[in-house]
Structure 1
Amino acid sequence: MTMPPTELKARAAATAVKLPRTVCFDRERLTIEDIVAIASGSAHATLSDAPEFRAAIQRGADFLDLLLREDGTIYGVTTGYGDSCTVNVPAELIPELPHHLYTYHGCGLGEHFTPVQTRAILAVRLTSLCKGYSGVSVGLLEQIARLLKEDLLPLIPAEGSVGASGDLTPLSYLAAVLCGEREVWRDGVKVSAAEALAAVGITPLRLRPKEGLAIMNGTAVMTALACLAYDRAEYLVRLATRITAMSSFALDGNAHHFDEALFAVKPHAGQQQVAAWLRQDLPTPDAPRNQQRLQDRYSIRCAPHVIGVLADALTWMRQSIENELNSANDNPIIDADNQRVLHGGHFYGGHIAFAMDSMKNAVANVADLLDRQMALLVDSRYNHGLPPNLSGAEGPRASINHGLKALQISASAWTAEALKLTMPASVFSRSTECHNQDKVSMGTIAARDCLRVLQLTEQVIAALLISVRQGVWLRCRMDASAQPQQNLQAMLGMLAEDIAVINEDRMLEPDLRLLLERINAQAWTLYA
């Protein structure tokens, strides 16, 4: 099989040694891709040295100092937190207040965020603080940047945030580590933060009056997870489209279902793009190969309409996620240029919550679509001549081989679990903290759910990659005139490097785990 030049170029690039790029943190906008690159280790984070940037940050800290000298009342600086905002803190105790904030929020539970997720969290919080409206010192920003540079990653429990007043409990673990407390991952080993900071010559911080609040009172965790989810969902759109093309070919389907004129009359841009990609993979002959079947079943014929929902939704999801990423999202906002302290609710994660609830719905629908395609592929009543369960065994041995029978059951289980998790988290607001936080976003729970739905859908995709690779191989074995288009040949060639055809039953878990590694690494370049 000959690989197209674009696919060859992409694979060569994937195997080449890449020098990490640098993402500079200042007051300019960053993208989802910047955060994902830092999280994956393919980019370094650096804090801007520009004098005007550092002066803007310093103005916020200086303005807070001025207010303190003038005995101003500042929420979370000279008062208690949340419902305790009516409690005035004696001047001599103000320096201790931020350390109490992260201390009493040290009550997270559940699994720890992964290193990739933790890097994203640090990068997102640094992005917000660099906007210059949080009243923090340059030294605090430098300390977060150093954690990223040295890859000292706070152990942050994933559970315990209601998404307003921001991600308080998980971000308390970042605040504590900056001060040399709690634990970090260093080179894959759990060590005390004090030991890790000392090993690289970092002095633990003593937080300035508002800095504990500035670190914790924001949407960094949910936004970081949303950036990672977006990246995975965008790749999923392409991979689900390629799988659909291979399913259609294996089922001897009707490629005219993706005709350009047909899709011109329903102008959803993402849906049209999916159909266009399918046309690249499935060029249409003058007439369908199978003259008896004008219309394929919905899971093939309507695939652009299902995958296209996610493709179209990604446009507004990007806008919401990147706006949140590039916002000053703590409270109060320190407007040093106009000498104002603005009390509000920018820590509220409603936009991220809605994006994540919506994404997990659209992604789970793609899992369900692919599960239906697999059900057609393995069933000899509907797969148009392919062997039952796509077994490659022939002769007497066909009687004892069961092919992909169990794999289809597993794919169905993963799909069901993904669909179960589509219940929106954002509608489950709870009144917390003495009814001060009486309407909360649940954005972090929505984001965690979304990542789980993505994981389950990627497991379905791994099952489908085995299925379509087997189905296309069997179709070509049955019909010598059936030849996949060049893009599908290239994909089959890449899959063949990882997956042997199944002539005899074998344990498929190793194949699935390898394919999941490829999916997570986005190893295949799909469509220009």
Structure 2
Amino acid sequence: MTQLAQPVADLPVAFGRDAVTIEEIVAIADGRQAALTGDEATLKRIVASARFLDDLWREEGVIYGVTTGYGDSCTVSIPPHLVEELPTHLMRFHGCGLGDVFDHRAGRAILAARLASLSQGYSGVRMDLLEQLIALINQDLVPVIPQEGSVGASGDLTPLSYVAAVLTGEREVYFRGQRLSAAEAYRLAGLAPLDALRPKEGLAIMNGTAVMTAIACLAFDRAQYLARLTTRLTAMVSVALKGNANHFDEKLFSVKPHPGQNQIAAWIRSDLKNNQVARNSDRLQDRYSVRCAPHIIGVLQDSLGWMRSFIEVELNSANDNPIIDGEGEHILHGGHFYGGHIAFAMDGMKTAVANLADLVDRQMALLMDTRFNNGLPSNLSGASPERAMINHGFKAVQIGASAWTAEALKNTMPASVFSRSTECHNQDKVSMGTIAARDCLRVLELTEQVVVAGLLSAAQALDLREADSTFDRAALTPVLAGMRDSIREQVAKVEEDRPLEADLRHMLALVRSKHWELY
């Protein structure tokens, strides 16, 4: 009897030999397991790196962060009898993070991103430490990590100190739906923490870009989905406004061949099926928030390729300092902890995403206003004529969308240009990559809120159009009718005014779980 292969999604993500993808980090964030590669060459390189480092410092070799102090203190020599205590001091004095904490899902992504770097075999860490990171992921014992305190070079020192501490049984974790001391969680899980961090291991864990890179992976996943969802929403709005499908013509877009922009136009065409051509409208050209939607969404769509490259190269790099080449027996001092590529990608992403919020906010403004909505009721009110005067439909939702959009746009200020000289001017030019990534998450949150408001508004507008006897129902294609009906399965049409917070929050959860399969 033939044995069926185990689905790839059920297999652990293997770290060490093959490059890890953004999608695999997201899968681990969502609960997938991890494993170390069985590739002999990779395992040999990991062992050689740790062994060479251990032999060298014992032979009185000078190694930054092992036999010297850290940062500007690199001129301070550490006597041999204190070398093994140094990593614990590094981990403890960096325990000063503040602000909100990363959630459980982000914590898992951070563990996976650090594992991806350390398993390259150039960081001088023991196999035991890598296996402990895998155990934390697979037992779902996730460090509680404050979001604030990293300048993005020398890596994510302060937030990653919380990973280092948890490996040795200190600080707090998420475990079984609770926030517990690491020591208690280890006891409940039947695991043992590492006795201590070996020389260089504290630096290897902390002196890298894992936090910003993990957040970038999660941000990329959300941005990619938002580009598609905003495209579907634009098609719904076009029908609701009795717009002109010729704005998305294939020949039209062939003469400006940005691939992502053309992809967005093609998706809108597939949703409209060319059924909708300027019916009952006195405008030859729709307003820009409909006509130029492919040009706006297309900027993000075209940027996803280089953003993926930046993120995945960083993810699969050895990005601590120094690099330990155990096989060639070299100690290489450098600055791979610098998060400039992630900073630039996140600054770019948040700008492109915020433009989606602005686009949808403008589309909603057209739907609400009887001067521009081609016969729809004011504020999309679904009330009967005799009760219309006291009902206000989506008036407040549109105000909210404008507020969320304004905040998203405000957060597009690039973090990467705000370098500060710190740590006695040793870290005199820093990336601010973690701040850029956190800003990007906030812009994504706000834009998702605007898009959810837009989806509810567009579904309401299509309901109102269908109730109009003059509306050509052929314009509402099966794809768009199905999207509207799927929204209606979740949220009822607004007839009499009601609080919509619960409906908006429910829709947000659906968007963040990628409830709708798109294109």
Quickly name the TM-score band, shorter chain normalised. over 0.9
* CA deviation profile, 1:1-45 (whole Å, cap 9, x unmatched): xxxxxxxxxxxxxxxx9973321112220000000000011x211
Whether 2:183 is the aligned partner of 1:191: answer no
Q: Which residue of 1 is the match for residue 3 of structure 2? A: none
Indicate which of 338, 346, 350 corresponds to 1:356. Answer: 346
Q: Which residue of 2 is the match for residue 5 of structure 1? A: none
Measured in 2, the distance between the counterparts of 1:167 and 1:346 equals: 12
Q: Which residue of 1 is the match for residue 472 of structure 2? A: 481
Measured in 2, the distance between the counterparts of 1:457 and 1:440 equals: 28
Matches within 5 A, 1:84-103: 84-103=73-92
Matches within 5 A, 1:109-188: 109-188=98-177
The structural deviation recorded for 1:287 is 4.8
The 10-residue stretch of structure 1 (54-63 or 255-264) with the greater mean CA deviation from structure 2: 54-63
Q: Which residue of 1 is the match for residue 332 of structure 2? A: 342
Measured in 2, the distance between the counterparts of 1:476 and 1:521 equals: 29
Q: Which residue of 1 is the match for residue 262 of structure 2? A: 272
* CA deviation profile, 1:386-437 (whole Å, cap 9, x unmatched): 0000001122101111111111000000000000000000000000100000
Contact 2:244 2:276 in 1 (8 A): no
Q: Which residue of 1 is the match for residue 4 of structure 2? A: none
Measured in 2, the distance between the counterparts of 1:393 and 1:473 equals: 12
Measured in 2, the distance between the counterparts of 1:380 and 1:270 equals: 33
Q: Which residue of 1 is the match for residue 504 of structure 2? A: 512
Whether 2:29 is the aligned partner of 1:39: answer yes
Q: Which residue of 1 is the match for residue 63 of structure 2? A: 74
**Quick one: which amino acid aligns to residue 486 of structure 2?**
M
Contact 1:27 1:132 in 2 (8 A): no
Measured in 2, the distance between the counterparts of 1:285 and 1:221 equals: 48
User: Where does structure 2 lack aligned partners over 5 or more consecutive residues?
Assistant: 1-6
The structural deviation recorded for 1:54 is 2.2
TM-score by length of 2: 0.96
Measured in 2, the distance between the counterparts of 1:403 and 1:259 equals: 34
Please give the secondary structure, in 1, of the residue aligned with 2:33: strand
Indicate which of 482, 486, 492 corresponds to 1:494. Answer: 486
Q: Which residue of 2 is the match for residue 371 of structure 1? A: 361
The structural deviation recorded for 1:190 is 1.6
* CA deviation profile, 1:223-247 (whole Å, cap 9, x unmatched): 0000000000000000000000000
Measured in 2, the distance between the counterparts of 1:420 and 1:24 equals: 40
**Quick one: which amino acid aligns to residue 216 of structure 2?**
A
Measured in 2, the distance between the counterparts of 1:401 and 1:282 equals: 32
Q: Which residue of 2 is the match for residue 58 of structure 1? A: 47
Q: Which residue of 1 is the match for residue 285 of structure 2? A: 295
* C-alpha RMSD over aligned residues: 1.3
Matches within 5 A, 1:395-406: 395-406=385-396
Measured in 1, the distance between the counterparts of 2:160 and 2:64 equals: 19
Contact 1:272 1:308 in 2 (8 A): yes
Please give the secondary structure, in 2, of the residue aligned with 1:502: coil
* CA deviation profile, 1:77-116 (whole Å, cap 9, x unmatched): 0000000001000000000000000000000001110001
Contact 2:245 2:277 in 1 (8 A): no
Q: Which residue of 1 is the match for residue 517 of structure 2? A: 525
Whether 2:252 is the aligned partner of 1:227: answer no
Please give the secondary structure, in 2, of the residue aligned with 1:497: helix
Measured in 2, the distance between the counterparts of 1:375 and 1:21 equals: 47
Matches within 5 A, 1:254-333: 254-285=244-275, 287-290=277-280, 292-333=282-323
* CA deviation profile, 1:285-326 (whole Å, cap 9, x unmatched): 495323522100000000000000000011100000000000
Aligned pairs, number: 510
The structural deviation recorded for 1:480 is 4.6
The structural deviation recorded for 1:499 is 1.4
**Quick one: which amino acid aligns to residue 364 of structure 2?**
M
Measured in 1, the distance between the counterparts of 2:190 and 2:47 equals: 24
The structural deviation recorded for 1:187 is 1.1
Contact 2:136 2:142 in 1 (8 A): yes
Please give the secondary structure, in 2, of the residue aligned with 1:151: coil
Measured in 2, the distance between the counterparts of 1:190 and 1:268 equals: 48
Measured in 1, the distance between the counterparts of 2:280 and 2:265 equals: 21
Contact 1:253 1:290 in 2 (8 A): no
* CA deviation profile, 1:30-64 (whole Å, cap 9, x unmatched): 000000000011x2111224443322211001111
* CA deviation profile, 1:256-303 (whole Å, cap 9, x unmatched): 000000000001000000000000111224953235221000000000
- Identity percentage over the alignment? 64
Measured in 1, the distance between the counterparts of 2:207 and 2:277 equals: 62
Please give the secondary structure, in 1, of the residue aligned with 2:48: helix
User: Where does structure 1 lack aligned partners over 5 or more consecutive residues?
Assistant: 1-16
Q: For the structure 1 residues 512 and 286, does the alpha-carbon distance in structure 2 shift closer, same or farther, using more than 3 Å as the test? A: closer
Matches within 5 A, 1:423-462: 423-462=413-452
Indicate which of 377, 391, 394 corresponds to 1:387. Answer: 377
Please give the secondary structure, in 1, of the residue aligned with 2:179: strand
* CA deviation profile, 1:112-166 (whole Å, cap 9, x unmatched): 1000100000000000000000010000000010001111111110000000000
Please give the secondary structure, in 2, of the residue aligned with 1:111: strand
Q: For the structure 1 residues 285 and 187, does the alpha-carbon distance in structure 2 shift closer, same or farther, using more than 3 Å as the test? A: closer
Measured in 2, the distance between the counterparts of 1:312 and 1:392 equals: 39
Contact 1:254 1:290 in 2 (8 A): no
